[in-house]
Structure 1
Amino acid sequence: MNPVKALESHGQAVWLDFLARGFVAKGDLKKLIDTDAVKGVTSNPAIFEKAIGSSDEYDAPIAQALKSGDKSPADLFEYIAVEDIQHAADVLKPVYDMMKGDDGFVSLEVSPYLANDTKGTVAEAERLWSSVKRPNLMVKVPATPEGLPAIQQLIGEGISINVTLLFAQKTYVEVAQAYLSGLEKYVAGGGDPSHVASVASFFVSRIDAQVDKQLDDRIAKANDPSEKARLKDLKGKVAIANAKLAYQEYLELFAGPRWEKLKAKGAKPQRLLWASTGVKSKDYRDTLYVEELIGKNTVNTVPPATLDAFRDHGEVRDSLEENVEDAKKVLADLAKTGISLDAITTHLVEDGVKLFADAADKLYGAVAHKRATSLGGGIGAQKLALGDGITKKVATSTEEWRSQAKIRRLWHKDKSVWTGSDEDKWLGWLNSAFGEKAKLADYNDFANWVKAQGFTDAVVLGMGGSSLGPEVLAQTFAKVSGFPKLHVLDSTDPAQVRAMGAAVKIATTLFIVSSKSGGTTEPNVMKNYFFEEVTKAVGADKAGGHFVAITDPGSSLEKVAKTQKFARIFHGDPTIGGRYSVLSPFGLVPAAAAGVDLAKLLDLTLSMVRSCGPDVPPAENPGVQLGLAMGNAGLDGRDKVTILSSKKIADFGAWAEQLIAESTGKDGKGLIPIDGETLGEPSVYGTDRFFIDLRTSGEDDKGHDDKLDALEKAGHPVARIVMPSIDHLGQEFFRFEIATAVAGSILGINPFNQPDVEAAKIKTRELTESFEKTGALPPETPVVSSKEADLYTDDSNAELLKKAGANSDLTSWLKAHFRRVTPGDYVALLAYVERDGAHIDTLQQMRMAVRDKKKVATCAEFGPRFLHSTGQAYKGGPDTGVFLQITADDAKDLAIPDYRASFGVIKAAQARGDFGVLTDRNRRALRVHLKGDLKAGLAVLDKAITAALN
């Protein structure tokens, strides 16, 4: 007789430790049921990974599953796994029916990531049970300390459980007790226990593998031949002895009054199942763990190779109850050697959890890869060319992040991923896209109201995170018919405020006052100014109807908005910091007002969210990979993240600049983002650059590509990202948010605070309060004064510059200042003037002259806008910045209602506060204050910079 089938007559069921879609569909499982009397099937992540990752068998099912909507890799795997389990369960259902529920089961494992999470295990097991909807399903739950109460609860709910990762007899007893207690609870609640089944999967070969290794160590050290012989005699015997004694426990546990009472109600005993029965040593017979563990009412789950071997030459006998006393002696003799079986089994449980998690990582990685392939152009493509050195460091970090479950920990808001301070309080942005999608009806209602009001313009009044995200949207998306044109104002420069007022029709403009805290100076004074202008245009009773507020609940802005009867108040999430808020009301309210299709934007964004999710291993996770590249490049000295944005998404760099600088530039560390530099030849760059090139599909530029290729060949790390279209903009917001958070972890900083931004605010507040009291800002003395300009710096900088040749003219000071620039530094031009096209071009001309001459990174920023952005990195990041602040007389100031200070005064206070912090931090800083006509003054400065560089 077929030895496999012969096991049936000895009371043992054979289950197959293998499952694949084609295996079931082609009838191979049915054949084994018929020829070998196979009575069950088990699955695990390693089995599924092999089936999914090593063939194209699942490509079509994955593509089909995605047709009904995008899914995360975990949800996608569960979708196809449930189908496979259902198909296998249906094939085994005749066995289940014939044996009246005693056998014919298929096992599906809860996520190995939940091995130490009781509540999570229970919830997932309940969901799997409900999803599969087959009476012959067993849900696999590990016998960890956290798994035991889950097992009891699930049995108590009438769910059949395969208890896995059992190694120790003591733990087996606890598992059986949990099963009995669960049954008693189920019966007490009126349940019929005849429908509940369970097996306790006792792992075998792994024990011998560990014991034999320790025995070999002792054999090698033993000098006495008889001692060597005694040690050798224990090899290959401990696992079987351990299992035999566990079976003796089984016989006692499922006998006696307690069990008989349950049995009378129809309960089934929890069978022992021998798992890990594939032989791991070539020294042993390949059918060892089947032949020596044959006994009544047990199960042996075997991999296909072991099944084939036993069918070919297996020997069948009632072996499980043989030589029980000898089994006891084997374990006693093992204890005498000093080898602790308890320590080994404890380690094996921990190692088993890790191995299953490792297998799950590979599984989800395989699913993530096939998902991305199937989605094709639905997700922005990313290609990293980092050079050998950084590539190796990223590979090391990738494995560290995988083995330490850091992406899952990040998503679970574990602050130890960073510095262990308060990072867990600032991670609401991770799920904001999901949350905002649930509020689409409210956004649509708001958009319809805006359209019905006939607004011609919508102006966001905000700073930093409240303004830069909406600005990208305003610059990227074309005006939608019937909706207002979207503008952003983030300046206290009187000329810029006045220009915005002239660019819109006040009487038909919607003003969106955006401030997370509600107490930020800039949006508040801008609101005061435009509220008065609107009141003049439409009357006091209607003015509030032209304003909406976006702010955190309970803020001072919310109170003002209620008092002034704003049309709407949208609440931000207090757990989302400003620079991470673009996919929250701070970005989506302006987008809705402008008629942007938020449903489309969010759906496409969520594809990237899923691609960067907790179930996507680091190697397949685009956000993590970009972040690891940025972080490791920074540690390698390539800390100038140069962002190159194509024409269609040209403003994206300004948003990314803020995100990266404010998140990473602190504690003397950080990445310095460089936005807006024209791409040059390799010769104009030092060895401190990391390039990120972002474009939309179809925006081909051969000249640009040739320069990127040349940079790559010269050894510069380059990341290329190609968005399918501008509609996929939200994907890049999220990719960069994840990447920045990951880079912060690599750098060892908290990417969610901004300690040095507050320092400038304090100095500004002191200056404005002084003005409110006295009517003037405190006097200051220039180090040099001329007809065209005054120069300011602190005593320390002044002394050093004078020693370097600075004398009585502007050019000499600039020359001395630029002489302080060394390789690896960056030069930042910080201009507190109107941000318009002409001034942007002028600053650009200046910076490019500096870059090309000094071969260092350059920044061209407008104040006070940059204070809520790159200002953090300039003050708190690495001391590699050389700063030239540019201020000027205002041709015409602008009063602020309810303030004594004007816009010009506040801007001046902000500039002086900013400069004061720079010098307090011993930064290399020089301030040029231009007098008279601004255009003429900038021309003088440009000429002086050119001369200073020569």
Structure 2
Amino acid sequence: MTATDLARVEAPGLSLVLGYADEAGLRETLDTLVTSGVASGIARRDATLWGPEAEEEAAKRLAWIDLPRASRKLVEPILALRDELRGAGLDRVVLCGMGGSSLAPEVICGAEGLPLVVLDASDPDSVRAAAGDALERTVVVVSSKSGGTVETDSQRRAFEQAFTDAGIDPAERIVVVTDPGSPLAEASADAGYRTFLADPEVGGRYSALTAFGLVPSGLAGADIGALLDGAADVHDALITDSPDNPALRLGALLGHAALAGVDKLVLASGGATYAGLGDWIEQLVAESTGKNGRGILPVVVEGVDAPGIQPSTTDAVLVTYGPEFVFDSISPASGWGAVVDGLLGAQMLTWEVATAVAGRVLGINPFDQPDVESAKQAARALLDETPEEEPALLAVDGLEVRALGAGLTEELTSAGDPETAIAALLDRLAAEDDRGYLAVMAYAERAAYPELAASRRTLADRTARPVTFGWGPRFLHSTGQLHKGGPPVGVFLQVTVAPRADLPIPGRPFGFAQLVAAQAAGDARVLADHDRPVLRLHLRDPSPDGPAYQRLLAALGVTP
């Protein structure tokens, strides 16, 4: 990539630099978006922009474009509640939510260095740790758009029980964010919980600037007014039908590159204060675009020099966010890339518009998630059936190996160790004609097994291919859609851990251990039904210092 391949555009609160390998093609795509009035159409909430099949869903999912103004009315009541809670000595905020309900607050609070306990897990050890610590100064925000998300509902029940057991009235400690008329809204009213009702015409992954993003962030101490100010600054530039519209340019680049086979989006922080933004973009882009056999796979990496953006990776767009990185430092082999810098609110609104634009270019509906439900249904079926677990193909040091899909079970019947099993899965990746990717999916307590996340880097270095890492079941509301609905070129490594102890879910016939096991097994089953290879590595011994975990780390190439 040379200097002649670069283009810069400035907007209030945001700057964008693009690098491209096909200037004529990108210009044609951008010109079509401008002459078709896509940006102004989004501002008018024109549901026809994504075709007749998407029109019904789009008609009720476009209110997010007006949030910099519409959400301003939330700031005062949120700050008033924060002051009230702080006055009562409640300074520990726990957020129970999944996907869009948790990722935005995590980024917002992280950008300001504010503590926020995000509980987006189903394993009993994580729930027990969150519900068993400092309850005397804890307020819990329960966030669910549908009001029926099984993880969030289960977490709410656990906290209600924990507060009651501690002699604390849950109505004094639980704040609910949900859509009007949802089951959670009704239950919240009955219980006397403080409730914020969000705009039902905003989808979960576009909800960063709604009550879902603002309530937990504001209660934790974030400057949510400044966040909205940043989005408001860039708003008018994003709804203008102009080639200088940064969201049109970014969306055109992502969509055009993906149609050309450059369908991986490598995300790296370039010195941004909001270093976690990549995780939020990952959900927004993956769940919005990964369907109908198409999609853009986000790959969140540790830095601009991380494995996964090697010169040999010709199917990846490299995007950095923050001020420090310039294209002269590294040239993606694909020739496609971007640097996006600006205020956090401006970043969020820009990426939302750009993702909707990329959906238009790809010819898909960016507002539905048809394959997310398949994993939920499989998990529910397993909760009802409670079938016997299939025998392990092999077990070494308390580490069990199983396989599903695409003939992988038969291939591994003679494997004698976990290393051989992993090598067989990576051989499948190598057979995907330089377009494949590896997804590592860990259903484990993050605090107890932090080294697992390092496997993304070691496996990317080993394969010279894009590798993603996700904590389950969190990723089911993010990249899980693309895994099943996107291009069928992924191979999957699932890690599960036996809990140290189960935790009952009040009012349910199953506990958290059974819930997380059903979610992991259900996801693996659906992937196998899509003819994708899945290798399951299960720690029968949950001790982080035990031989099973140490053997697993060694097999993944991770140094403890």
TM-score by length of 2: 0.91
**Quick check: 1:684–1:855 contact (8 Å CA) kept in 2?**
no
Alignment of 1:512-551 (within 5 A): 512-539=141-168, 542-551=169-178
> What's the offset of the Cα at 1:732?
0.8
> What's the offset of the Cα at 1:563?
2.0
For 1:806 and 1:672, the matched residues in 2 are separated by 33
Hey, what does 2:118 align to over in structure 1?
A: 488
Is the aligned partner of 1:736 residue 2:351? Answer: yes
> What's the offset of the Cα at 1:843?
2.8
SS, match of residue 890 in structure 1: coil
**Quick check: 2:38–2:357 contact (8 Å CA) kept in 1?**
no
For 1:783 and 1:840, the matched residues in 2 are separated by 27
Higher relative contact order, structure no. (Cα contacts within 8 Å, ≥ 6 residues apart)? 2
Choose the corresponding residue for 1:851, options 439, 453, 460: 460
**Quick check: 2:404–2:524 contact (8 Å CA) kept in 1?**
no
Deviations 1:418-441 (A, max 9, x none): 132222221111112211113433
Choose the corresponding residue for 1:798, options 408, 414, 418: 408
For 1:842 and 1:684, the matched residues in 2 are separated by 26
Alignment of 1:411-426 (within 5 A): 411-420=43-52, 421=54, 422=56, 423-426=58-61
Choose the corresponding residue for 1:643, options 260, 264, 267: 267
Hey, what does 2:92 align to over in structure 1?
A: 457
**One-letter code of the match for 1:675?**
V
SS, match of residue 859 in structure 1: strand
Hey, what does 1:315 align to over in structure 2?
A: none
Choose the corresponding residue for 1:821, options 406, 429, 443: 429
SS, match of residue 816 in structure 1: helix
> What's the offset of the Cα at 1:752?
0.5
Hey, what does 1:205 align to over in structure 2?
A: none
Is the aligned partner of 1:406 residue 2:38? Answer: yes
Gap change, CA 1:814 and 1:714, over 3 Å in 2: closer
Choose the corresponding residue for 1:447, options 56, 72, 82: 82
**Quick check: 2:321–2:341 contact (8 Å CA) kept in 1?**
yes
Hey, what does 1:617 align to over in structure 2?
A: 241
> What's the offset of the Cα at 1:795?
6.1
SS, match of residue 268 in structure 2: strand
Hey, what does 2:449 align to over in structure 1?
A: 839
Hey, what does 1:295 align to over in structure 2?
A: none
Alignment of 1:519-918 (within 5 A): 519-539=148-168, 542-566=169-193, 568-613=194-239, 616-645=240-269, 646=271, 648-680=273-305, 683=310, 685-695=312-322, 697=323, 700=324, 705=326, 708-712=327-331, 714-723=333-342, 728-771=343-386, 777-794=387-404, 796-798=406-408, 801-802=411-412, 807-822=415-430, 823-836=434-447, 839-844=449-454, 846-918=455-527
Deviations 1:279-337 (A, max 9, x none): xxxxxxxxxxxxxxxxxxxxxxxxxxxxxxxxxxxxxxxxxxxxxxxxxxxxxxxxxxx
For 1:415 and 1:856, the matched residues in 2 are separated by 37
For 2:304 and 2:39, the matched residues in 1 are separated by 34
Gap change, CA 1:713 and 1:818, over 3 Å in 2: closer
Gap change, CA 1:524 and 1:795, over 3 Å in 2: closer
> What's the offset of the Cα at 1:589?
0.9
Deviations 1:377-424 (A, max 9, x none): x5121111123x1x3222101111122222222322223321322222
> What's the offset of the Cα at 1:641?
0.3
Deviations 1:120-148 (A, max 9, x none): xxxxxxxxxxxxxxxxxxxxxxxxxxxxx
For 2:409 and 2:498, the matched residues in 1 are separated by 27
For 2:405 and 2:158, the matched residues in 1 are separated by 38
For 2:314 and 2:522, the matched residues in 1 are separated by 33
SS, match of residue 449 in structure 2: helix
Gap change, CA 1:478 and 1:811, over 3 Å in 2: closer
Gap change, CA 1:811 and 1:593, over 3 Å in 2: same
> What's the offset of the Cα at 1:899?
2.0
**Quick check: 2:267–2:318 contact (8 Å CA) kept in 1?**
yes
For 1:713 and 1:930, the matched residues in 2 are separated by 38
For 1:825 and 1:527, the matched residues in 2 are separated by 39
Alignment of 1:375-414 (within 5 A): 378-387=12-21, 389=22, 391-414=23-46
> What's the offset of the Cα at 1:536?
2.2
Is the aligned partner of 1:942 residue 2:553? Answer: yes
RMSD in angstroms over aligned alpha carbons?
Answer: 2.2
**Quick check: 1:828–1:859 contact (8 Å CA) kept in 2?**
yes
For 2:312 and 2:515, the matched residues in 1 are separated by 38
Alignment of 1:42-61 (within 5 A): none
Deviations 1:874-907 (A, max 9, x none): 1111111110011121122222222231111100
Deviations 1:610-640 (A, max 9, x none): 2201xx2231111111111111111121111
**Quick check: 2:378–2:525 contact (8 Å CA) kept in 1?**
yes
> What's the offset of the Cα at 1:680?
2.9
Structure 1 unpaired stretches of 5+: 1-368, 480-484, 772-776
Hey, what does 1:157 align to over in structure 2?
A: none
**Quick check: 2:491–2:533 contact (8 Å CA) kept in 1?**
yes
For 1:852 and 1:820, the matched residues in 2 are separated by 16
Hey, what does 1:26 align to over in structure 2?
A: none
SS, match of residue 71 in structure 2: helix
SS, match of residue 516 in structure 2: helix
For 1:396 and 1:835, the matched residues in 2 are separated by 45
**Quick check: 1:385–1:712 contact (8 Å CA) kept in 2?**
no
Gap change, CA 1:899 and 1:405, over 3 Å in 2: same
**Quick check: 2:93–2:220 contact (8 Å CA) kept in 1?**
yes
For 1:755 and 1:865, the matched residues in 2 are separated by 17
**Quick check: 2:131–2:158 contact (8 Å CA) kept in 1?**
no
For 2:138 and 2:539, the matched residues in 1 are separated by 35
For 2:192 and 2:475, the matched residues in 1 are separated by 32
> What's the offset of the Cα at 1:751?
0.6
Gap change, CA 1:862 and 1:760, over 3 Å in 2: same
**Quick check: 2:314–2:333 contact (8 Å CA) kept in 1?**
no
Structure 2 unpaired stretches of 5+: 1-8
Aligned residues: 539
**One-letter code of the match for 2:256?**
N
Deviations 1:320-367 (A, max 9, x none): xxxxxxxxxxxxxxxxxxxxxxxxxxxxxxxxxxxxxxxxxxxxxxxx
Choose the corresponding residue for 1:472, options 102, 107, 110: 107
**Quick check: 1:476–1:648 contact (8 Å CA) kept in 2?**
yes
For 2:287 and 2:476, the matched residues in 1 are separated by 10
**Quick check: 1:889–1:934 contact (8 Å CA) kept in 2?**
no
Greater helix fraction, Structure 1 or Structure 2:
1
SS, match of residue 861 in structure 1: strand
> What's the offset of the Cα at 1:806?
5.0
**One-letter code of the match for 1:734?**
L
For 2:452 and 2:353, the matched residues in 1 are separated by 34
Hey, what does 1:200 align to over in structure 2?
A: none
TM-score by length of 1: 0.55
SS, match of residue 452 in structure 2: helix
SS, match of residue 243 in structure 2: helix
